[in-house]
Amino acid sequence: MSKVKDISFSKDGEQELYWARVHMPILAQIKKDFEKEKPLKGLVIGVALHLEKKTGILLETLAAGGAQIWAASCNPLSTDDRVAAALSSKMNVFAWAGQSKEEYYWCLEQVISQKPQILIDDGCDLTLLAHQKGYEKLVLGACEETTTGVNRLHAMHRDGKLKFPVFAVNDAYSKHLFDNRYGTGQSTLDAIMNMLNLIVAGKTVVVAGYGWCGKGIAKRMSAMGARVVSVEIDGDLGEDKSSGSGVHKALEALYDGFAVMKMEEAAKIGDIFVTATGNRDILTEKEFRLMKDGAIVSNSGHFDNEIDVAYLEKNAKSKKEVKPNVMEYEIFGKKIYLLSQGRLVNLARPTGQGHPVEIMDGSFGIQALCVRELAKNTPKKAGVQAVPKEIDDAVARMALKANGVVLGKPTKEQIEYAKGYGEGT
């Protein structure tokens, strides 16, 4: 059973899937193993991920392991309708690009009503829905793909509301070091350049947040010749972050060669703004008022609340879509251009293609192996669980192998010494 935009897009979707498949050697290996072992036989897996070609290969891999797949998108704009059409003949898919809020939740409901035993989530909406519907006891466990989702899971756990184990896939080294940094870096730049067809060199690009995503975006913008300004924040934002707190990251940005300042200063000089904080209200009326005529604003964080789009919608003198996914607002006697409705700029269709294929091969390799772990060795305790080190290391090793790199092994003596058993002079 499926609901997609147009089934006649299937042929183009198959072509997209082919391109991803031949560039995803990690998932190819895992699929081969799954075909033999059938570790997911008889399981229903509920999925809320950006439904595009790389996700399609993950879902094919899980299906090869014996699972029945029910999939929706984790974002109203990010579905590749061609891929969704191609997948819909092989599994159950409820997704199309350009959904209303109601349609988005309707699709998640179709997935959760199948009472899946394992969830793969991106942003925590599906996990939350499983709890709201009272299905949490039926779920063996889940995997969470992104920073914002992991933050929400920690909040649920703190409040005693998380009732099953969830692997924080986002926090695996092989995920956040590569996907959030290199993946978001390249795909954000790629989407902005393709959408605007304007030169990046010589422009002042303000990047809010110097976490894993922010530093990837800043580095790549700078490599294209932009003057990058980094905006961070000094305050206690809760959970310990794998990459340090705001003051560390601001210093890191400074030492990486970027200007660092408050948003109220950066707002006056930026040509292009990219938010990647996972926090809310980064660009609001105050900043819009300070911006130059023609400023371009975009978001690469998970939710669309980093930019106060509602303010622009309500208060602009006029608005018009001047290019696909580019909205021109006339406000405060100037023009401000908002990209992709303030939603993930690198994933909003049709202009965003998401992360490079090889990057998602690694991230989804972790997802597939974590799903097998949930099926075979279900963690006993509810709560946020670290991805097992063996899985994290195995995926990095497979990625190295795919790039033709094989490392030497430490000697027995070196292992002992590294563990602290040894003497030096």
Ligand X SMILES: NC(=O)c1ccc[n+]([C@@H]2O[C@H](COP(=O)([O-])OP(=O)(O)OC[C@H]3O[C@@H](n4cnc5c(N)ncnc54)[C@H](O)[C@@H]3O)[C@@H](O)[C@H]2O)c1
Residue 178 as a binder of ligand X (CB under 6 A): the answer is: no
> Token pair for residue 422?
């040894």
Nearer to ligand X, 232 or 361 (CB): 232
Least distance in angstroms from the C-beta of 344 to ligand X? 5
Structure tokens at 389: 């080190």
Residue 14 CB contacts under 8 Å (≥ 6 apart), including other chains: 86
Tokens of 111: 């997935």
Note whether 77 binds ligand X by CB under 6 A. no
Which of 301, 342, 362, 365 forms a contact with ligand X (CB under 6 A)?
Answer: 301
Residues numbered 302-321 forming contacts with ligand X, rule: CB under 6 A: 302
Which letter, b or e, does each residue of 278-288 get, where b requires 16 or more Cβ atoms within 10 Å of its Cβ? bbeebbbeebb
Q: Give the relative orientation of helices 389-402 and 25-37 as an angle to the nearest 10 degrees.
A: 120
241 binds ligand X (CB under 6 A): yes
For residues 148 to 167, the per-residue mask of contacts with ligand X, x marking binding by CB under 6 A and - elsewhere, is: x-------------------
Residue 279, interface with ligand X (CB under 6 A)? yes
Q: Which of 72, 200, 282, 382 is close enough to bind ligand X by CB under 6 A?
A: 282
Stretch in the footprint of ligand X (CB under 6 A) among 52-60, 72-80, 227-235, 318-326:
227-235
Residue 211 touching ligand X (CB under 6 A): yes
- Is residue 362 a contact partner of residue 21, using CB atoms and an 8 Å limit? no
326-331 and 272-275 strand pairing: unpaired
Residue 116 in contact with ligand X, rule: CB under 6 A: no
Q: Is 214 in the site for ligand X (CB under 6 A)?
A: yes
Asked if 65 is part of the footprint of ligand X (rule: CB under 6 A), the reply reads no
CA distance 82 to 86: 6
Q: Should residue 300 be labelled a site residue for ligand X when binding is judged by CB under 6 A?
A: yes
Among the listed ranges 21-29, 108-116, 236-244, 404-412, the one in contact with ligand X (CB under 6 A) is: 236-244
**Shortest distance, CB of residue 378 to ligand X, whole angstroms?**
26
- Ranges of beta strands (E only) in 195-354 are 204-208, 227-231, 259-260, 272-275, 295-299, 318-323, 326-331, 334-339
Residues 362 and 174: beta-carbon distance below 8 Å: yes
- Compute the least distance from the CB of residue 187 to ligand X, in Å: 6
Check binding of 209 to ligand X (CB under 6 A): yes
Round to whole Å and give the CA distance between 301 and 415.
40
Q: Which residues here bind ligand X, judged by CB under 6 A?
A: 146-148, 176, 180, 184, 208-214, 231-233, 237, 241, 243, 246, 249, 276-279, 282, 300-302, 344, 346-347
